[in-house]
Amino acid sequence: MASLREKIGQLFIVGLQGEALSRDEQIIIEQCGFGGFILFGHNCREPRQILSLCRALWETGTEPPPFIAIDQEGGRVHRLPQPFTHFPPAAALGRTGSAELAYKVGSATARELSAVGINLNFAPVLDVNSNPRNPIIGDRSLSSEPQEVIRLGWEIVRGLREGGVIPCGKHFPGHGDTAEDSHLALPIVEKSVAELKAVELPPFVHACRQGIETLMTAHVVYRALDPEFPVTLSEKIVTGLLRQDLGYDGVVVSDDMEMKAIGANYGDEEAVERAVRAGVDVLLYCHELPRAVRAFEFVCAEAE
C-alpha cells in the first residue's frame, strides 16, 4: 500500500530544467515521487533525445507510472521542434468548419507525442473566444460560437484519445472573456450566471457529459460563481459546480501555480491549501522545482 508521502507525490506535475535529468532532479524525484512531468521547448531538442528523457522519467519508479505532459495546441502554443508537425492555431482549424480535419489533427498530434513517450496533452482549448481584446486566448480558441467549440473540440479529443494520448480540456469554466493574461495578473469576469451558461460553460458541460479524462482550471475570478476566489482556489466552483452540479468525476488539474494570477495574490502555502481543499487533484508547477518541493513538504505536514 502506498505511503502518505507517496500518495501526496501523485498530486504534483512538475517542470524540468534541461534536455536530460540532472542528478539533483533525480534525487528530488526519488524523494518526492511526483506524479508527473511537463515538457517545454527547452526540454526538447530532437526526437531521440525527447524519447530518452521520457524513458528516464518513466523509469523513475513511481507507481502508477507518471503523466508525461506537454502543451501541444498548435499555433503559438507549440513545444516540439522539427520534424514534428507545427499545426496552425485552433482558430484556423475552426475557420475550416471541418470535423474530419479536427479529428485528424488530434490523431496526428497523438501519434507524434506517443512516439516519443508523451502521454498527456494539455489540449484542446475549450474556451470560447468571446472577448476580442483577450490577450491570452484569442486564436487559441476554435471559435466565438460555443457549439462550434463543442463540435470541433470534441473531435480533437477523440483523435488524441484514439492515438493513445490523454486529452485535457482547458481552462474551466472558460478563459475566453478575460481582458488580462493570467500569467501576469488575476483576471476578473463580471458576467452573470445566465451569460456564463449561454457562452462559456457549454463546451465544458459537454466535455463532462462525455467523460473527458482531465480538465484544467482557469486562474480567473468569476464574480457570479465565487466573488472571492479564482477558480483554481474555489471550492464553490471546483467541488460545487464542477463535481456536484456537472457530475464530473475525471481528474482536475490546476493551471501553473507559479503564474502571477496566483503567485502575486496568495502566499504559496495558502494557494496550495486552498487548491487542494477546493478539490483540485493535480497541482502544476512548471518551472521552479524547489517551489514544488516546498509545496509538497507543506502538504505532507498538513496531511500529518
Query: E-strand spans in the chain?
Result: 12-15, 36-39, 67-70, 120-121, 166-172, 188-189, 214-217, 221-222, 251-256, 282-285
Catalytic: 255? yes
How do 67-70 and 282-285 pair as beta strands?
unpaired
Bin 108: left if φ > 0, else alpha if -120 < ψ < 50, else beta: alpha
Q: Is residue 183 among the annotated active site residues?
A: yes
Q: Is 138 left (phi over 0), alpha (psi -120 to 50) or beta?
A: left
Of the residues 71, 226, 255, 256, which is catalytic? 255
**Can you state the percent helix, strand and coil of the chain, rounding each to 5?**
45, 15, 40
Indicate which residue of 181, 183, 268, 287 is catalytic.
183
Nearest to 32 by CA among 11, 59, 55: 11
Q: Which three cell numbers stand for residue 265?
A: 495574490
Angle at 189 between CA 183 and CA 195, to 5 degrees: 135
**Backbone φ and ψ of 258, nearest 5°:** -90, -10
Q: Which residue is associated with the grid cell 468548419?
A: 97
C-alpha 203/C-alpha 213 separation (Å) is 14
Which cell is 148 given?
A: 462550434
Which residues are identified as catalytic? Answer: 183, 255
